[in-house]
Amino acid sequence: MSEHNPLSPPPRDRDGARRKAQNHFVVREQRDSAIKIEINRLRDATDAKTVKLRALRLAKEEIDREEARLAAIGAPPPKPKKPRKKFVLG
């Protein structure tokens, strides 16, 4: 009975199948962790860029407010508006 019948299915290699499945899961876990690390790195870079741009925008807005305040102090008084004629329809 040690001979293998060519018409019967091959003997099952349970340990080999288990090892192959475990290898598949290990590779997938490694890939998932690498993707998560990359996503976190990109998110951190985006957050740092956002903080930098926000600081630049706030500094520019402060400079613009100061320039507007100084321009308002040195500006001549506004001219009075002429009264408009009223038309009555009817």
Query: Quick one: which of 30, 12, 10, 11 has its CA closest to 22?
Result: 30
Q: Is the dihedral of CA 14, 17, 20, 24 positive or negative?
A: negative
| pLDDT above 80 for 83 | yes
Structure tokens at 26: 């290990």
pLDDT value, residue 80? 85
pLDDT value, residue 2? 54
- In the chain, the percentage of residues whose pLDDT exceeds 70 is 91
Q: Which residue has the higher pLDDT, 73 or 47?
A: 47
18: pLDDT confidence band, cut at 50, 70 and 90?
Answer: confident
pLDDT value, residue 56? 98
Rounded mean pLDDT, 3-17? 74
